[in-house]
Structure 1
Amino acid sequence: MRPSAIFRAFTGTYLLLRFRSGREHVVEIVERPARTLPSAEFKKLQQACRTVVAACLDGRQLDYGLFAPDGSAWERSVVTLVRRAADGCPIAFNAMPLLSVRRGGLPDEVLHLGLVMVDPAERSGGLSWILYGLTCFALFVRRGLRPLWISSVTQVPAVVGMVAEIFDDVYPAQAGTRASFAHQHLAHQIMQGQRAAFGVGADAGFDPVMQVITNAYTGGSDNLKKSFAVAAKHRDDRYNRFCAETLDYERGDDVLQIGRLDVGTARRFLARSVPRSAVPQLAVQGIVLAVQAVVAPLVQWLSADKPLGRLRAAR
Structure 2
Amino acid sequence: MAFNWRIARAIWQPELDLVFRPSRAFLVEVSGSPGMWMAPGRLEQLQRDCRTVVAACLNGDQLDYGLFEADGKAWNTSVITLVRDAADRRPIAFNAMPLLPVRQGAEQIEVLHLGLVMVDPSARSAGLSWLLYGLTCFFLFLRHRLRPLWISSVTQVPAVVGMVAETFDQVWPGQDGTLPSFAHRHFARQIMASHRHAFGVGQDAGYDAVRSVITDAYTGGSDNLKKSFAVAAKHRDPRYNRFCETLLDYARGDDVLQIGQLNFATLRRFLLKSVPRSALPRLIVQLAVIATQAAVAPVLQWLAADRSLGQLRPAR
Shorter chain as normaliser: what TM range? over 0.9
Residues in 1 aligned to 2:37 and 2:46: alpha-carbon distance in whole angstroms: 12
Mapped pair 1:245 → 2:241 = no
Residues in 2 aligned to 1:61 and 1:12: alpha-carbon distance in whole angstroms: 34
| Residue of structure 1 in register with 2:89 after alignment | 88
Residues in 1 aligned to 2:173 and 2:211: alpha-carbon distance in whole angstroms: 7
| Residue of structure 2 in register with 1:222 after alignment | 223
Q: Give the partner amino acid of 2:82.
A: L
| Residue of structure 2 in register with 1:3 after alignment | none
Q: Identity of aligned pairs, percent?
A: 67
Residues in 1 aligned to 2:46 and 2:290: alpha-carbon distance in whole angstroms: 22
Q: Give the partner amino acid of 1:189.
A: Q
Q: What secondary structure is seen at the aligned counterpart in 2 of 1:218?
A: coil
Structure 1: tracts of 5 or more residues without a match: 1-9
Shift of 1:13: 3.1
Shift of 1:310: 4.4
TM-score by structure 1 length? 0.94
Shift of 1:15: 1.7
Residues in 1 aligned to 2:179 and 2:154: alpha-carbon distance in whole angstroms: 18
| Residue of structure 2 in register with 1:142 after alignment | 143
Residues in 2 aligned to 1:150 and 1:311: alpha-carbon distance in whole angstroms: 30
Residues in 2 aligned to 1:308 and 1:12: alpha-carbon distance in whole angstroms: 12
| Residue of structure 2 in register with 1:167 after alignment | 168
Shift of 1:35: 1.2
Shift of 1:280: 0.8
Q: What secondary structure is seen at the aligned counterpart in 1 of 2:176?
A: coil
**Deviations 1:251-285, CA, capped at 9 Å, x for gaps:** 00000000000011011101100001100110111
Mapped pair 1:74 → 2:82 = no
Change (3 A) 1:14 1:103: farther
Q: Matches of residues 39-54 of structure 1 in structure 2 within 5 Å?
A: 39-54=40-55
Aligned length: 303
Shift of 1:34: 0.5
Q: Matches of residues 189-204 of structure 1 in structure 2 within 5 Å?
A: 189-204=190-205
Q: What secondary structure is seen at the aligned counterpart in 2 of 1:125?
A: coil
Residues in 1 aligned to 2:37 and 2:271: alpha-carbon distance in whole angstroms: 27
Mapped pair 1:272 → 2:277 = no
| Residue of structure 2 in register with 1:309 after alignment | 310
Structure 2: tracts of 5 or more residues without a match: 1-10
| Residue of structure 1 in register with 2:206 after alignment | 205
Mapped pair 1:17 → 2:54 = no
Residues in 1 aligned to 2:283 and 2:292: alpha-carbon distance in whole angstroms: 14
Shift of 1:311: 4.6
TM-score by structure 2 length? 0.94
- Stretch deviating more after TM superposition (13-22 or 172-181): 13-22
**Deviations 1:182-210, CA, capped at 9 Å, x for gaps:** 00000000000000000000000000011
| Residue of structure 2 in register with 1:5 after alignment | none
> What is the alpha-carbon root mean square deviation over aligned residues?
1.2
In the TM superposition, structure 1's runs of 4+ consecutive aligned residues that sit over 4 Å from their partners are none
Residues in 1 aligned to 2:311 and 2:56: alpha-carbon distance in whole angstroms: 44
**Deviations 1:99-132, CA, capped at 9 Å, x for gaps:** 0111122111000000000000111111110001
Q: Give the partner amino acid of 1:154.
A: T
Q: What secondary structure is seen at the aligned counterpart in 2 of 1:309?
A: coil
| Contact residue 297 and residue 311 of structure 1 kept, 8 A | no
| Residue of structure 2 in register with 1:37 after alignment | 38
| Contact residue 30 and residue 78 of structure 1 kept, 8 A | yes
Shift of 1:14: 2.9
